[in-house]
Amino acid sequence: MDLSYILNHLGEERDQYFDAVSPPIIQTSNFYFKDVESLRNAFPNERDIHVYTRGNNPTVEILRKKIAALAGAEDALVFSSGVAAISAAVMANVHAGDHVVCVKKPYGWTDKLLNKFLSRYGVTATMIDGTKIENFIAAIQPSTRVIFLESPNSFTFDLQDIKAVVKLAKEKNIVTIIDNSYCTSLGQRCIDMGIDIEVHSATKYFGGHSDVVAGYLMGSKKMVAKIFASELLNIGGIISPNDAWLLIRSLRTLPIRLERIQASTATVVKFIEQHPQVERVIFPFSDSFPQHALAKEQMLWCGGLFTVIIKATDVAHVETFCNSLKRFLMAVSWGGHESLIMPACSFMNRDDLDLADYPYNMIRFYIGLEDPKVLIEDIEQAFQKIR
Ligand SMILES: Cc1ncc(COP(=O)(O)O)c(C=O)c1O
């Protein structure tokens, strides 16, 4: 199925809603049945029939079809946040006494899910440096049920060799889950590489406008049916039809937004890499990136995130640089239209991070949809303030 068809037509039964080009927002909690037999037959089939919007809603269903096809997966679910999707994926595949192997420095709330939340229910986790396959081999225990990957992560961009991990997991009958938010399903074909469950913060590139918080989960029909019947219906972290509609609208422009961001980021990275006030740039497609070859092998694009270590004598120096930027908003998250910075020196009061991984002169940049020339001029004037 071609991408243009998926984004513009798949799942859109226009003759059912007045031939409108844009689908309706079916803002209902409930669906009625004309007779007892139809209701009786609907109950065992809630994933496919419209009974109640916590399970299935027609607007959300359009989105589910599109994102499953986009990832090359059999089915998909949409959640009210990326964290809800991540939690559902992991919780569906562990019981008390089970063990999870997860890469170090994943998204913060993934770390807390495994090490603070699920540990209360008898699930243990080993956090490993996922850049080496030997570390996975060493960490697997007889009780390991899940390997959780995040390749690349969203600050230092450490990668895992996805195909090698999948091979190992399949030999040991372990479920593989990957947080693919950094690349999106277009930029890294995780399901094709054999991953069991792909999860996303759809808040990032999929939403793309910094106005929706949402999560996606894609996998086999069997896996999705299992998660639907338990974690989705029971914990109920569902998306509203209105937010699902916004995400359908965002999908139409996903490839062109990604192309623009990719081109602008390459331009800005090139400028920063040669800047005399820069110590180092961390960006998977840069020649200097330690896992550059692997990045080129398994990633089709690199996105708008990169991290810069600037030359600075103290924290005040870094703060002056960051506070001087006018075209970059200082904020968490990424993937929207607006360029952002996230300085590591803002983490100093946090007790949930190992600050050794985040030196004070490290700044994460995200390049949005603005003109890269404007962004480069802004960075240059901020560097001049600390010269
Ligand atoms: C890599 C990654 N995964 C997951 C999440 C969580 O997504 P959400 O904020 O949509 O719950 C984030 C959010 O920042 C993230 O950066």
Residue 353 is predicted with a pLDDT of 82
Residue 247 is predicted with a pLDDT of 98
**227 and 348 part of one domain:** no
Q: Which of 321, 301, 298 is nearest to 309 (CA)?
A: 321
Residue 234 is predicted with a pLDDT of 96
**263 and 248 part of one domain:** no
Q: How far is the CA of 85 from the centre of ligand 1 (A)?
A: 10
**142 and 240 part of one domain:** yes
CA geometry: angle at 112 spanning 219 and 284, to 5°?
Answer: 65
Output helix, strand, coil percentages for the chain, rounded to the nearest 5. Answer: 40, 15, 40
Residue 311 is predicted with a pLDDT of 97
Sign of CA dihedral 164, 199, 88, 358: positive
Q: Which domain holds residue 276?
A: 254-384
Residue 280 is predicted with a pLDDT of 97
For 224-254, b/e burial (b = at least 16 CB within 10 A) is bbebbeebbbeeebbbbbebbbbbbebbeeb
**212 and 280 part of one domain:** no
**176 and 186 part of one domain:** yes
**153 and 290 part of one domain:** no
Cis peptide leading into residue 58 (ω within 30°)? no
For 28-59, b/e burial (b = at least 16 CB within 10 A) is eeebeeeeeeeeeebeeebbebbbebebbbbb
Taking the CA of residue 202 as reference, the ligand 1 atom at the shortest distance is: 10
The last residue of a domain, from among 252, 270, 293: 252
**202 and 317 part of one domain:** no
Return the best residue to mutate from 107, 159, 250 for the ligand 1 pocket (most ligand atoms within 8 A of CB). 107
Residue 297 is predicted with a pLDDT of 98
- Amino acid at the residue 384: Q
**276 and 363 part of one domain:** yes
The CATH number linked to 261 is: 3.90.1150.10
Q: How far is the CA of 81 from the centre of ligand 1 (A)?
A: 8
**219 and 363 part of one domain:** no
Q: How far is the CA of 82 from the centre of ligand 1 (A)?
A: 5
Which residue's structure tokens are 């916004």? 246
236: Cβ–Cβ under 8 A, 6 or more apart, which residues? Answer: 54
Residues with CB under 6 A from ligand 1: 81-83, 107, 154, 179, 181, 201, 203, 213, 215, 333
Which residue's CA is minimally distant from atom 7 of ligand 1?
A: 82
**198 and 325 part of one domain:** no
Q: Give the model confidence (pLDDT) of 109-167 as tens digits.
A: 999 999 999 999 999 999 999 999 999 999 999 999 999 999 999 999 999 999 999 99
Rounded-to-10 torsion of CA 242, 245, 250, 252: -170
Report how far residue 273's alpha carbon sits from residue 275's, in angstroms, rounded to the nearest whole number. 6
**313 and 167 part of one domain:** no
Return the best residue to mutate from 104, 154, 209 for the ligand 1 pocket (most ligand atoms within 8 A of CB). 154
| Cβ–Cβ < 8 Å for 344, 359 | yes
The CATH number linked to 174 is: 3.40.640.10
Residue 200 is predicted with a pLDDT of 98
Taking the CA of residue 332 as reference, the ligand 1 atom at the shortest distance is: 14
The last residue of a domain, from among 222, 252, 282: 252
Low-confidence ranges of the chain (pLDDT < 70): none
Report how far residue 342's alpha carbon sits from residue 22's, in angstroms, rounded to the nearest whole number. 36
Q: Give the model confidence (pLDDT) of 227-283 as tens digits.
A: 999 999 999 999 999 999 999 999 999 999 999 999 999 999 999 999 999 999 999
Q: How many domains does the chain have?
A: 2
Secondary structure E strands in the chain = 75-79, 99-103, 124-128, 144-150, 175-179, 197-201, 215-219, 278-282, 305-310, 329-330, 340-343, 362-366
Taking the CA of residue 84 as reference, the ligand 1 atom at the shortest distance is: 11
Half-sphere exposure for 33 (CA within 13 Å, toward CB): 13
The last residue of a domain, from among 252, 277, 292: 252
Residue 354 is predicted with a pLDDT of 83
**165 and 310 part of one domain:** no
| Cβ–Cβ < 8 Å for 209, 254 | no
Residue 75 corresponds to which tokens in the numbers above? 């089915």
